[in-house]
Chain A
Amino acid sequence: MGAIAIQPAGVKPVVIQPAARPWRQPSVIPGFGLTFGFAMTYLSLIVLIPIAALILRTTELSWQQYWEIASSERVIAALRLSFGASLLAATINAVFGLVAAWVLARYDFPFKRIVDAIVDLPFALPTAVAGIALTAIFDRNAWVGSTLDAFGIQVAYTWIGVTVALTFIGLPFVVRTLQPVIAEIDREIEEAAATLGAGRWRAFVRVILPPLLPALLTGYVLALARAVGEYGSVIFIAGNIPYKTEIAPLLIVIRLTEFDYSGATAVATIMLAISFAIFLVINLIQAWARRKFGNA
């Protein structure tokens, strides 16, 4: 847009230059300065500055020192366990979470409201409580644990126990991202598939599942993100044997109690980088879903 020329009768033209695009559009509602200023200050003090301090602390290490810590056997074993168990747990959740979300969105059965409400338990139950409860169930002296032990399967104090705890933690993410999307599926497309001769299974795989994929992927990645950083529910059931059942967040805590700040920050920045990468992936999935299916 160019300059606007206003020419009242008999007066020489006045040229008004348009202002640069304002940073903020004007509004009649007061309080922008106060609320924005407070929100930014609080965000900076609580979140941004402390995270920046962590990153700054890491830069005090040389690349070689950093690499030595990051590539040490114990760190790699911990990261591998944290990642492997998280991937497995997220996969279990994707499969059974899809079934649970489908059942809750489509079918009626007794106590459905209670079942629906209890899906959010992992959000509400403190992780330490979940940790000791799961350990109590899967310990080889307890009822489920002893039954599995008879089949030679040991859950508590092994990587399986870690996976169990991470499955518990990630469960609601998958169910709650899928459930509303399943509820909103247009039944007419299923009817069309049936009319065109598709069996129920074929209709599910070819017609119903594709639009569910973005939500399923988002739930999967959210569960994964939560599981990689999880601490409280895991350390009780894991047994915490170095190189074997020691998760990465626990290694940070151990380094801290040894006053090895460099070791702690190095592992922490790796975790932070992983978190940011996952965070980015979620946003990419949602952008892709919006382009492809027109919803998030």
Chain B
Amino acid sequence: MPDRVHDASSPGWRSPTAEAPLVKALLIGTALLFLGVFLLAPLITVFVAALSKGAAVFVASLGDADTLAAIRLTLLVAAIAVPANLVFGVAAAWAIAKYEFRGKTLLTTLIDLPFSVSPVVAGLIYVILFGAHGYLGPWLNAHNIQIIFAVPGIVLATIFVTFPFVARELIPLMQKQGSQDEEAAISLGASGWQTFLRVTLPNIKWGLMYGVLLCNARAMGEFGAVSVVSGHIRGQTNTMPLQIEILYNDYQWVAAFAAASLLALLALVTLVVKSVLEWRFGDELASVHR
């Protein structure tokens, strides 16, 4: 063999479009160190701190009445907020992806708006509207309806911060898939509802799951917006993240981290399911990795 022809498998040869092994190792090392310090270390710390006084203390601190109430409230809030945003996401994606109308770009932009608003401001807008000194406060008070410092306010704030998740996953997905399938179904005599259930839903089910997954993770973990509207009444209006704050500020370290470890576990499950969805059904999602 003439020596000018490179054999890519020979150890001394390096492609001209690849980095030197040392540079490559350095880059990988830098990335792993950075991700290790900023991501892995906090995650491990949560579990180590939660179990630092042993499993018995861990279990006992989770059995605290206020913590259990916080878990129940968090589940309740997510059980209302996630389906509400799911229905909205499907409706908005249907309207935007299946039809041509003026102002569509504006509508798509407005749906993303809650993501660029600070969580604290998200809570504040409902206090301005429904709080005791808010625009509707006197009327609500006269009719004995409490929204702020009560569960409805927490649900509203959670809906706001998780608003775009399902819609922004479904809109590009349904736009990419087009309307031919639905038009065929309609022309064969299916009703609109049948078309949605039998044709559209199977096409978008993984994207829908993906959106719901992320929506749920944020709904159960939201802190800032919920903190503003909750009123922090122990055992009544504290969600899990708020309960963690209270325990932490009470110097109940282990209890705080025990509660935090449950949410960290939820985050891990979310990441695992998300990765599985991306690996298995990547081409049925709007965009893997955004």
Contact surface of A with B, Cβ cutoff 8 Å: 23-25, 27-32, 34-36, 38-40, 42-43, 46-51, 53-54, 56-57, 96, 99-100, 102-104, 107, 109, 113, 115-130, 132-134, 136-137, 144, 164, 167-168, 171, 176-177, 179-180, 187, 190-191, 194-195, 200, 203, 225, 228-232, 236, 249-250, 252-253, 256, 259, 261, 264-265, 268, 271-272, 275-276, 278-279, 283
Contact = CB atoms under 8 A, between A and B. Distances in A.
B125 A50 contact: yes
A89 to B, nearest CB: 10
Contact of B100 (A25, A128, A253): A25
A32 B223 CA distance: 36
Given A51-B125, A103-B28, A121-B271, A29 B118 contact: no
Interface stretch (B2-10, B57-65, B240-248): B240-248
| A-B interface, 5 closest residue pairs, ranked by CB to CB distance from nearest | A126-B221, A229-B118, A232-B223, A231-B224, A194-B16
A256 B272 CA distance: 39
Given A107-B28, A121-B267, A132-B260, 6 more contacts: A25-B100, A38-B91, A121-B271, A125-B263, A127-B221, A275-B117
Contacts, number: 297
A190 B17 CA distance: 6
Most chain B CB neighbours (cut-off 10 Å) among A36, A113, A171: A36
A128 B129 contact: no
B125 A54 contact: yes
Given A29-B182, A117-B275, A126-B223, A249 B263 contact: no
Given A117-B271, A123-B214, A124-B271, A31 B27 contact: no
A48 B287 CA distance: 28
Interface size class of B (residues with CB under 8 A): 35 or more
Contact of A48 (B110, B159, B223): B110
B176 interface: no
Interface of B: 16-20, 23-24, 27-28, 30-32, 34-35, 37-43, 45-46, 49, 87-88, 90-92, 94-95, 98-102, 107, 109-111, 113-114, 116-121, 124-129, 133-135, 156, 159-160, 163, 179, 182-183, 186-187, 191-192, 195-196, 214, 217-218, 220-224, 227-228, 240-242, 244-245, 248, 256-257, 260, 263-264, 266-268, 270-272, 274-275, 287-290
A232 B157 CA distance: 15
A27 B120 contact: no
A169 B111 CA distance: 22
Nearest to A191: B17
Contacts of A134: 42
Q: Which residue, B116, B228, B288, has most C-beta atoms of chain A within 10 A?
A: B116
A278 B116 contact: yes
A128 B95 contact: no
Contact of A122 (B39, B99, B127): B39
Contact of A123 (B40, B88, B217): B217
A108 to B, nearest CB: 10
Contacts of A137: 41-42, 45
Contacts of B266: 124
A46 B159 contact: yes
Contacts of B126: 50
A151 B195 CA distance: 66
Given A24-B100, A120-B271, A271 B35 contact: no
B39 A28 contact: no
Contacts of B257: 132, 136
Given A28-B187, A122-B39, A275 B118 contact: yes
Contacts of A127: 221, 223-224, 241
